[in-house]
Amino acid sequence: MNSYEKEKICYVEQNTYINNETGEIKTQEEKKVIRIPKEDEYIKIYIKTIGILHNIPASADKILLEIIKYTSYNNRIILTKPVKQDIANNLNISLSRVNNYITTLIKKNILIRKDRGMYILNPYIFGKGNWHDIYNLRKELRLDVVFKEGEIEILEAGNNNP
């Protein structure tokens, strides 16, 4: 059952118009007011802009978009070999190319490696979850950024913990 089938009627409003002289019913109308289910959560991002700001190859945009589909709350992404193979199949590229782009995204501090096969999206760029969790992720992350001549250079991103 999809969300459109879960609409609930909140109330039904009926209006009857009567001729005061004859008592005859002129018109009747019925209006049903429904409550639409809560919208699914979503995030809107501009991948090309992220690519330009972080100087990543244009072809990495598609990999990043595929990776984002696997993001859970707290910006966490688990990229096992089968997941990477799915990404490769979806984009009709090799697994090694997916791995190379993941390495590029790590070097550009868009993805941050937390453990083997586990990453988070940089919480200064992306946020999936509630603000409190994203804020805490940001506190855990050290981010050194230099703005010069209209360019942004991220020197380092990593855990604040030594």
Is domain 47-159 annotated with CATH 3.30.565.10?
A: no
Does position 1 have pLDDT exceeding 60, yes or no? no
pTM of the model: 0.59
Give the per-residue pLDDT at 162. 43
Planar angle of CA 88, 152, 67, nearest 5 degrees: 20
Give the per-residue pLDDT at 133. 79
Q: How far is CA 54 from CA 10, 42, 141, in A?
A: 49, 23, 17
- Over the stretch 46-60, which tens digit does the pLDDT of each residue have? 777 777 777 788 788
**Ranges of each domain in the chain:** 3-35, 47-159
Does position 101 have pLDDT exceeding 80, yes or no? yes
Place of tokens 């699914």: 40
Helix (H) or strand (E) holding 135: helix 131-140
- Over the stretch 71-94, which tens digit does the pLDDT of each residue have? 988 889 999 999 999 999 999 999
CA dist 25 and 78 (Å) reads 66
Give the per-residue pLDDT at 4. 43
Q: Are 25 and 16 in contact (CB under 8 A)?
A: yes
